[in-house]
């Protein structure tokens, strides 16, 4: 029996014994009229005032987005978000798009354009987090586990801090999305290595779909709350990369 796995860009065909059980996820259809649905989520958020009530002209806004290792449809959600900021009088020069790389490599110019879209790269300040850049990391003390916490300066010095991302099960952090836009995405290298350290991953609660009681996720949440994010916009996707759910508002409530 040949099974086609969703692996890399081309997929991977694997030969398995004919008696093998193959589990397939339940298909959830994508949301129709994505732009309108995203806008509605911004106007009717969960546990938060609408985004337009949280921004004022002249404020510095940072929008954190995922890097190329994640399936987030940045080129579809960010234009709607940025248009909403424009409608509230936020000038393009006051907005920074911040690539939450964690310890991952920088994206190339071509990768950024493919990920964000030409219009965004050409018209907005696009920065990439560097976990080793001491000058652009602000110390926030230690977590309750005694781990050093340093977070991106550009993010912390912004007046409005917006997190975006993609929700899916994570094999040791429980779920992606939410507070993971801060730790590991915008953290110093030592903060990432301690949070993702062997002693943390070895905990029985550090597993798929577990958040409460998972020491990795609990520290991620603790650190993210220290940074006082203003607003969150997360999505869920189906296997065809269509948006199946929109979660906007307070970082934890949404």
DSSP 99: E
- For the stretch 183-240, pLDDT in tens is 999 999 999 999 999 999 999 999 999 999 999 999 999 999 999 999 999 999 998 9
Q: Residue 164 domain-assigned?
A: yes
Residues of the domain holding 53: 33-249
Residue 7 has pLDDT above 90, yes or no: no
Element holding 161 (H helix, E strand): strand 160-166
Q: Residue 88 domain-assigned?
A: yes
Given the residues 65, 129, 147, 170, the one annotated as active site: 170
Alpha-carbon span 136 to 188, nearest angstrom: 9
In this structure, are residues 64 and 162 in contact, taking their beta carbons and an 8 Å threshold? yes
| Main-chain dihedrals φ then ψ at residue 49, nearest 5 degrees | -65, 160
Neighbours of 191 (CB within 10 A): 28
- CA–chain centroid gap for 223, Å, is 15
Q: Which pTM value belongs to this model? A: 0.93
The domain that contains 61 carries what CATH number?
A: 3.40.50.11440
Alpha-carbon span 61 to 86, nearest angstrom: 11
Q: Residue 13 domain-assigned?
A: no
Bridge partners, 138 (sequence order): 151
104 carries an active-site annotation: yes
In this structure, are residues 210 and 248 in contact, taking their beta carbons and an 8 Å threshold? no
65 carries an active-site annotation: no
CA within 13 Å, CB half, 219: 26
Given the residues 65, 104, 147, 196, the one annotated as active site: 104
The pLDDT score that the predictor gives to residue 26 is 86
Q: Residue 14 domain-assigned?
A: no
Binning pLDDT at 50, 70 and 90, where does residue 25 land?
confident
Total domains in the fold of the chain: 1
Percent of the chain at pLDDT exceeding 70: 100
């Amino acid at each position: 029996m040949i099974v086609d796995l969703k692996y890399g860009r081309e997929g991977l065909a694997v030969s398995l014994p004919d008696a093998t059980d193959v589990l397939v996820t339940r298909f959830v259809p994508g949301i129709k009229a994505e732009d309108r649905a995203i806008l509605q989520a911004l106007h009717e958020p969960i546990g938060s005032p609408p985004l337009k009530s949280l921004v004022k002209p002249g404020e510095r806004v940072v929008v954190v987005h995922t890097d190329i290792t994640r399936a987030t449809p940045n080129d579809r959600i960010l234009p709607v978000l940025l248009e909403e900021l424009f409608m509230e009088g936020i000038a393009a020069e006051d907005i920074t798009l911040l690539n939450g790389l964690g310890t991952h490599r920088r994206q190339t110019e071509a990768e950024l354009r493919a990920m964000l879209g030409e219009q965004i790269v050409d018209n907005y300040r696009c920065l990439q987090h560097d976990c080793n850049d001491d000058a652009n990391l602000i110390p926030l003390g230690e977590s309750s586990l005694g781990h050093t916490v340093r977070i991106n300066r550009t993010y912390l010095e912004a007046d409005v801090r917006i997190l975006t991302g993609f929700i899916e099960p994570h094999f040791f952090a429980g779920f992606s999305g939410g507070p993971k836009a801060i730790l590991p995405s915008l953290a110093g290298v030592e903060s990432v290595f301690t949070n993702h350290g062997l002693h943390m991953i070895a905990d029985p609660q550090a597993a798929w779909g577990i958040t409460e009681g998972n020491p990795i996720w609990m520290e991620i949440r603790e650190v993210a709350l220290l940074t006082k994010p203003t607003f969150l916009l997360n999505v869920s996707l189906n296997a065809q990369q269509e948006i199946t759910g929109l979660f906007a508002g307070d970082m934890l409530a949404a």
